[in-house]
Amino acid sequence: MSSLFFSLLSILFLSLPLLSLSSDSDVLLKKIKPALQGNTTIANTQLSTWNLSTPLCQWRGLQWATATGAALSCDSASTRSNLSLNSDTSIQLTSIQLPASGLQGYIPSEIGDFSYLQSIYLAVNSLHGSIPLELGNSPSLLRIDLGSNSFNGSLPPSIWNLCDQLVSVRFHGNRLSGSLPNPAGANQTCDSLKILDFGENKLEGGFPLFITKFSGLQELDLSANRFTGSVPEALAEMKSLQKLNISSNNFTGMLPAEFANSKFGADSFEGNSASLCGSPLDKCGSGSGSGLSPGLIAGIVIGLMAGGVVLASVLIGLFQRKKNKNKGIEVEELEIEDGEQNGEGKLLVFQGGEHLTLEEVLNATGQVMEKSSYGTVYKAKLSDGGNIALRLLREGSCKDPEECIPLVREFAHARHENLVPLRAFYQGMRGEKLLICDYFPHKSLFDILHESTTGRTLLNWPKRHKIALGVARGLSHLHTGHDTPIIHGDVRSKHVLIDELFIPKLTDYGIGQLMISAVADELLSASSADGYKAPELNKMKRCNARTDIYSFGILLLELLMGKKPGDAKNGGFDLPALVKVAVLEETTMEIFDPEILKGIRNPTEDGLVQALKLAMGCCAPVAPVRPDMAEVVRQLEDNRPRNRSNLYSPADIRSGAATPY
């Protein structure tokens, strides 16, 4: 509310002197009235009161403000009959309310000319034509209801110019078509927006993901349109949502698991493609009976033996290695070998991996991206041209299938903006295991931070803060977003991918949990050499949420200090020890990476000092003292850098986003 007050005040002081050209009443009479009236011979009874022989206060369906911004009170007889108000240019229109008034025309572009106009209620009329993009020029507009008319065309992207102030937007029951335009800024949150109703139109395209960023949204209606594709996890995570209706579209796939226990019933989702499944709708993959435990809704098992398909006994065979010297990359082809006949190889497919088939995965051409103690990561090209990332767990490294598969299903539940999603899992009959994930062409945080080349991306504090917060959110989701917490087990900068908008994505979560203990120990000692290992892991071997938080603390120090953690012989530093020394010697400011101090006037007001304290809290030697990830997220959110404008520089705007108006 305070931001609203501010914008009204600034309009009052800044724009009044400019407004002497034509009064609002003039624009109403000359432009708005004829347009709304339309081509009917019978004069509209409401609109006909808008005339110069009727005092302004008696014009139907309008509200006004005086020069001070206060509402014009039409209660007193003298004001009510004051004809001079009609030509008083300081009187401003604040509201147009003519619902169910038999209007037959259209909305003209001059609707954007009213500086004070806060609400437009023109529902249940016969208005047609397109929504003028000038609507987005109305500097004070908060509430729009144009429901139950015949507006067509697409929604102008300029509507999101009003993102920061809009409270409710209703276009229910029109003929709007095309896809919903994205806001110009990649990540607008439209904080005041409570109601968004586009139900019963002809809108199409995938689920408009940007809506899930609208953090205060209470009511969302996209029902009875032509939306397609899957329902994103982020929708289920919208905390403030009270009412949801996405019924009668063409959504497919599995509903996010969170909807199983939400306040939304089947009537929020019904009437979509028959393949939309998962609680509160019907269970997914019912009918095959391939030994799925009923409580798990993680995935659709493609029972390869079902129906006598002979695809079944395909195996990953030998890896033939060819070095491609010219490109300096090692190319390995995944070669397929027909197995004997006891083919147990099977592919578990999870949300978003429905397009994958065993044949296609195993026929993919792979290029080695990374080798690690648990196996090899490939970039694999599918026959349709798409890429996936394959993590081949080395032989013998994984536990028994009985233990392994339920865990993998748990990991597949994890869907979050800051997590690389697991799309499928392959288990071959010799025990080979492939984790199949989305492929991201991006660099890891480690590369970005420690790369020494001259052309490297500069990371200022707002960017680093954004990365830290994203990693914290992803980790918090792993720890608390599921019935059983998922322990990452290997949080490190090499396992954080950074996209061009500096949104981080965590990879490799849970892999330690899949390993037999000998390999798990190896993974742990590697993380120890790299400085991420919590001290208590020297005694007990099992990772837990608190050991993840320790690793996160090290990663946060790495971000703040720009130094590699770990053994000195690998060029690393004991980061917590450096901080302690600096604090004792009162040289704290010197430990920050000089690159992040650029443009920072006051490290406390910009959240730098708080972030350092937080990192040290996470690295506390005594595990119970460490904050949990939810607390870490809260503290990072509460202590943001003040100047975040450069996060939205043109280079940061996703290509394909709507052009700003």
Q: Which residues bind ligand NAG (CB under 6 A)?
A: 39, 48-49, 51, 53-54, 58, 78-79, 82, 84-85, 88, 128, 152-153, 186-187, 199-200, 213, 223-224, 226, 228, 245, 247-248, 250, 267-268, 273, 466, 469-470, 501, 503, 647
Q: Which two tokens stand for residue 19?
A: 């407004």
Q: How far is the CB of 286 from ligand NAG (least distance, A)?
A: 21
| DSSP for residue 347 | E
Question: Is the Cβ–Cβ distance between 207 and 229 less than 8 Å?
Answer: yes
- Side by side, which strands form the sheet with 175-178? 128-129, 150-153, 175-178, 202-206, 226-229, 250-251
Q: How far is the CB of 532 from ligand NAG (least distance, A)?
A: 22
d(CA 612, CA 362): 46
Q: End-to-end alpha-carbon separation of the chain, Å?
A: 25
Q: How far is the CB of 26 from ligand NAG (least distance, A)?
A: 15
Q: How far is the CB of 85 from ligand NAG (least distance, A)?
A: 5
Question: Is the Cβ–Cβ distance between 342 and 491 less than 8 Å?
Answer: no
Q: How far is the CB of 478 from ligand NAG (least distance, A)?
A: 15
Q: Which residue number, 312 or 560, has a Cβ lying nearer to ligand NAG? A: 560
Q: Which residue number, 84 or 342, has a Cβ lying nearer to ligand NAG? A: 84
Question: Is the Cβ–Cβ distance between 248 and 271 less than 8 Å?
Answer: yes
Q: How far is the CB of 186 from ligand NAG (least distance, A)?
A: 4
Q: How far is the CB of 248 from ligand NAG (least distance, A)?
A: 6
Q: Which residue number, 133 or 186, has a Cβ lying nearer to ligand NAG? A: 186
Q: Which two tokens stand for residue 476?
A: 């918090």
d(CA 254, CA 231): 7
d(CA 411, CA 416): 11
Q: Which residue number, 186 or 529, has a Cβ lying nearer to ligand NAG? A: 186
Neighbours of 484 (CB within 10 A): 9
Q: Which residue number, 41 or 602, has a Cβ lying nearer to ligand NAG? A: 41
Q: How far is the CB of 69 from ligand NAG (least distance, A)?
A: 15
Q: How far is C-alpha 372 from the chain's CA centre?
A: 30
Contacts of residue 65, defined as CB under 8 A and 6 or more positions apart, other chains included, come to: 71, 72, 91, 92, 94, 116
d(CA 156, CA 135): 9
Q: How far is C-alpha 206 from the chain's CA centre?
A: 14
| DSSP for residue 46 | T
Q: How far is the CB of 556 from ligand NAG (least distance, A)?
A: 15
Q: Which residue number, 128 or 443, has a Cβ lying nearer to ligand NAG? A: 128
- Tell me the CA distances in angstroms from 270 to 244, 262, 280, one per residue in order: 12, 15, 9
Q: Which residue number, 85 or 618, has a Cβ lying nearer to ligand NAG? A: 85
Q: Which residue number, 215 or 288, has a Cβ lying nearer to ligand NAG? A: 215
d(CA 237, CA 167): 21
